[in-house]
């Protein structure tokens, strides 16, 4: 039986992300070595993609960024789903309030 894949503090890795991570032993080792918060940021970033093509690019980029030594996704404001930490003012204004305006404007 394969070792259990480690997940984030709020989010769990999807099957497609897990398959990509397991396809490269070096990437998998780096993933397993991240903190649960670091894994959570990558998962949230991937899950936030609106298009399947964007999601696949983000999954591929996760492996690339891990191999470059990154511990969090580049250019990501951070997970807004954590209950242990209030969203920053930027996250509130852009990610939370902005989504509410967009979804109600339809």
Tally of CB atoms within 10 A around 106: 4
Instruction: Give tens-digit pLDDT for 45-99.
Output: 999 999 999 999 999 999 999 999 999 998 777 777 766 666 667 666 665 666 6
pLDDT at position 106 over 60: no
Which residues are CB-neighbours of 79 under 8 A, at least 6 positions away? 8, 10, 11, 40, 41, 44
- Give me the DSSP letters along 5-42: PP--SS----HHHHHHHHT-HHHHHHHHHS-HHHHHHH
State pLDDT tens for residues 54-66: 999 999 999 999 9
Listed by start position, the domains of the chain span 15-104
Q: pTM for this one?
A: 0.77
């Amino acid at each position: 039986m394969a070792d259990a894949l480690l997940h984030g503090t709020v989010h769990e890795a999807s099957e497609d992300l897990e398959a990509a991570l397991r396809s490269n032993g070096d990437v998998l080792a780096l993933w397993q070595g991240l903190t649960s918060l670091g894994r959570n940021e990558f998962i949230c970033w991937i899950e936030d993609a609106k298009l399947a093509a964007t999601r696949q690019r983000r999954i591929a980029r996760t492996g690339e960024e891990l191999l470059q030594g990154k511990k969090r996704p580049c250019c990501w404001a951070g997970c807004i789903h954590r209950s242990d930490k209030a969203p920053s003012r930027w996250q509130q204004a852009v990610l939370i309030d902005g989504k509410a305006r967009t979804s109600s404007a339809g």
